[in-house]
Amino acid sequence: MKISVIGTGYVGLVTGTCLAEIGNDITCVDKDHKKIENLKNGILPIYEAHLEDMLIRNIGENRLHFTTSVEDAVRHATIIFIAVGTPSHENGDIDMSQVDEVAGEIGKSLDAYKIIVNKSTVPVGSVKRVAEIIQRHLKREVEFDVISNPEFLREGSAVLDTFQGDRIVIGSTSKKATKILHDLYRPLKQKIFTTDPESAELIKYASNAFLATKISFINEIANICEKTGANVNEVAKGMGLDKRIGEKFLNAGIGFGGACFPKDVKGLIKIGEKLNYDFRIIRETLQVNEEQKMKPIMILDNLFPDLRGVQITVLGLTFKPDTDDIREAPSLDIINELHKRGAKIKAYDPIAIENAKRVLKLPIHYFHEAYDAIAGSDAVLLLTEWKEFKELNVRKIRSLMNRRVFIDGRNIFEAKAMRAKGFEYYGIGIDNCQ
């Protein structure tokens, strides 16, 4: 099928490349000229496992093209995916300006029947909103359908998720568009759940808010564990054995971040507010998360009367492993707080240092190797559960540190073993008495 994907970020690029891989003819569009030039030369703007090889192969086999022209892309395709950003406004409301702009451009260029697919995460009612904008911009009468097809891929496993996701959701009132989308997705052999557009739009927000709530829930259990001598890792294991609960998203830690959970939870609160509905549970989900991010600082405050001049090493800057995305990562808030308190900060991340430098305009000393970042430190803060951190030689870490405070914000090490090796080890939701 001939398909265009407008917005070549984490979602658009992965969607476009994966749909090319299963034999479609794809044009990816972005207004960022540099990004498009680089992509034409096989240079990726993001890190995502398996993506680079697939992208280069599909460019080589002439199934994947890049352009900055929405007009060309609209003419090229029968199906047009909208995958631009929908960030939060300052007040938490969903910023629809990128979607609205693209809808207008599509309307101006529409020359024959096409299906426009809302893949961006957008509020309930956006299928109608996009259809109205397109209709207003049409240069001549032409038939089109707008449908909802929210995206559930996770950064870090986005390619795998596209090929082996749990479900594909299609929200549509058009039989014709629904059939074409079923034909497109059939090779992926996933469960396709077809529903009305409003339900599809809400499924995305409800899913993310639910998962975020699961994280805040286990973090509150972690706080109870710390006061009772229980161990949250054990509690989570025991809970997860119940199939109704499931073991996933029960890792206590320093909270969630990223480009989706915080903004989608805020977005759902706003959707509720506009309907005069106070979505209390997820307001608390966010509040708990804000407090949880500051756990490492609270632990440091108990250990150092004053953080001025204390040498701290931050291991891990991304909100989760296997991505270079630092949007809304807990590390950003933690580092800002450390800086405010006068700590000296060293940082290491396997792939996100350049992204961090762009966002954190602070005097941080960045390193390209974990041990170099740790040398001479009074305290290590482990903030992302990168696999390579699990494989660090802890004896070597101990020998390199000045004072041996180790705060494990993701509970990747075993407290007893770390303490036996001479660390002042602190985790989340475990007995932190040394």
Q: Which residues are catalytic?
A: 260
Q: How far apart are CA 123 and CA 112, in angstroms?
A: 27
The residue from 5, 12, 169, 408 that contacts ligand NAD (CB under 6 A) is 12
- Is 193 flagged in the annotation as binding? no
Residues 199-228 that bind ligand NAD (CB under 6 A): none
Residue 298 C-beta: closest distance to ligand NAD, Å: 30
Residues 103/71, Cβ–Cβ less than 8 Å: no
Residue 10 C-beta: closest distance to ligand NAD, Å: 4
Residues 130-169 that bind ligand NAD (CB under 6 A): 151, 153, 155
Residue 371 C-beta: closest distance to ligand NAD, Å: 31
398-402 long-range Cβ contacts below 8 angstroms, 24+ apart: 398/422, 398/423, 400/371, 400/374, 400/375, 400/376, 401/374, 401/375, 401/376, 401/377, 402/311, 402/376, 402/377, 402/378
Residue 78 C-beta: closest distance to ligand NAD, Å: 19
The residue from 4, 9, 123, 425 that contacts ligand NAD (CB under 6 A) is 9
Give the nearer residue to ligand NAD in terms of CB position, either 153 or 202.
153
User: Can residue 11 be called a binding residue for ligand NAD (CB under 6 A)?
Assistant: yes
- Is 381 flagged in the annotation as binding? no
- Is 252 flagged in the annotation as binding? yes
- Is 230 flagged in the annotation as binding? no
Residue 156 C-beta: closest distance to ligand NAD, Å: 9
3-state secondary structure 377-422: CCEEEECCCCHHHHCCCHHHHHHHCCCCEEEECCCCCCHHHHHHCC
CB atoms near residue 50 (< 10 Å) = 16
15 phi/psi in degrees, rounded to 5: -60, -50
65-103 burial string, b = 16+ CB within 10 Å, else e? bbbeebeebbbbbebbbbbbbbebeeebbbebebbeebb
User: Can residue 422 be called a binding residue for ligand NAD (CB under 6 A)?
Assistant: no
- Is 257 flagged in the annotation as binding? yes
The residue from 39, 59, 83, 347 that contacts ligand NAD (CB under 6 A) is 83
User: Can residue 8 be called a binding residue for ligand NAD (CB under 6 A)?
Assistant: yes
User: Can residue 31 be called a binding residue for ligand NAD (CB under 6 A)?
Assistant: yes
Sign of CA dihedral 205, 206, 211, 217: positive
User: Can residue 123 be called a binding residue for ligand NAD (CB under 6 A)?
Assistant: no
Residues 257-276 that bind ligand NAD (CB under 6 A): 259-260
User: Can residue 71 be called a binding residue for ligand NAD (CB under 6 A)?
Assistant: no
DSSP per residue over 12-53, as a string? HHHHHHHHHHTT-EEEEE-S-HHHHHHHHTT--SS--TTHHH
Give Cβ neighbours of residue 223 (< 8 Å, ≥ 6 apart): 429
Give the nearer residue to ligand NAD in terms of CB position, either 120 or 318.
120
Only one residue has tokens 């090493």, namely 313
Q: Which one of the spans 80-88, 215-223, 377-385, 404-412 is the region binding ligand NAD (CB under 6 A)?
A: 80-88
Residues 156/322, Cβ–Cβ less than 8 Å: yes
Q: How far apart are CA 32 and CA 98, in angstroms?
A: 13
The residue from 1, 25, 75, 85 that contacts ligand NAD (CB under 6 A) is 85
Give Cβ neighbours of residue 123 (< 8 Å, ≥ 6 apart): 94, 96, 201, 205, 267, 270, 271
Q: How far apart are CA 424 and CA 140, in angstroms?
A: 71
14 phi/psi in degrees, rounded to 5: -65, -45
- Is 155 flagged in the annotation as binding? yes
Residue 152 C-beta: closest distance to ligand NAD, Å: 6
Three-state secondary structure call for residue 371: helix
Q: How far apart are CA 247 and CA 400, in angstroms?
A: 36
Q: Which residue is nearest to ligand NAD (CB)?
A: 9
- Is 250 flagged in the annotation as binding? yes
Q: Which one of the spans 96-104, 163-171, 189-197, 361-369 is the region binding ligand NAD (CB under 6 A)?
A: 96-104
Give the nearer residue to ligand NAD in terms of CB position, either 21 or 155.
155
- Is 42 flagged in the annotation as binding? no
Residues 99-118 that bind ligand NAD (CB under 6 A): 101-102
Residue 188 C-beta: closest distance to ligand NAD, Å: 16
- Is 319 flagged in the annotation as binding? no
Annotated binding-site residues for substrate read 152-155, 204, 249-253, 257, 320
Question: Which residues of this protein are in contact with ligand NAD, per CB under 6 A?
Answer: 6-12, 29-32, 35, 70, 83-86, 98, 101-102, 120-121, 151, 153, 155, 259-260
